Structure 1
């Protein structure tokens, strides 16, 4: 299982959107999530997640169909684990 597949299958949709919407436009994010968690697309959960994150200030509207970090943005735990290099 690749890293993206693990993240999509194991993390909350809000956490996935919080990170990936910063560098993937909605259609690309929809394809990525739909590949590993199609029920999120079919039941409208992805759009609900976007709306919730924009309304709560986690995300803000950016350029070129990308989101930017909003005033209430906070890195999800899975991202902190990936982003932090191991130190001996």
Structure 2
């Protein structure tokens, strides 16, 4: 089972977005941060980071609700190390 609480509390906002944005819609990521790490929402960090990742080409918007992995996308270290129950 994936330990979402620790992912959203311990990992950088950029890494969390890079892993989850191509899989779940932004509003759901926002709600998970509200539950586990509200400071990221209150400070505006989540939205700023998401917009920056789009500008940097790490994520690409399309006509679907989920962005695609961009040409500059790299898998976050917590995923490659299979932390938090990720496979």
TM-score range normalised by the length of the shorter chain: 0.7 to 0.9
Aligned partner of residue 24 in structure 1, secondary structure: coil
Aligned length: 84
Stretches of structure 2 lacking an aligned partner (at least 5 in a row): none
Q: TM-score, normalised by structure 1?
A: 0.86
> Greater RCO between the two (CA within 8 Å, min separation 6)?
2
Which contiguous aligned blocks of 4+ residues in structure 1 show a shift greater than 3 angstroms?
none
- For 1:63 and 1:75, locate their aligned partners in 2 and report how far apart those are by CA, in whole Å: 23
What's the C-alpha RMSD, in Å, of the aligned pairs?
A: 1.8
TM, length-normalised to structure 2: 0.87
Counterpart check, 1:4 vs 2:35: no
Unaligned runs of 5+ in 1: none
| C-alpha spacing 1:19/1:62, structure 2 compared with 1 (3 Å) | farther
Q: Which has the larger radius of gyration?
A: 1
| 2:53 is the counterpart of 1:53 | yes
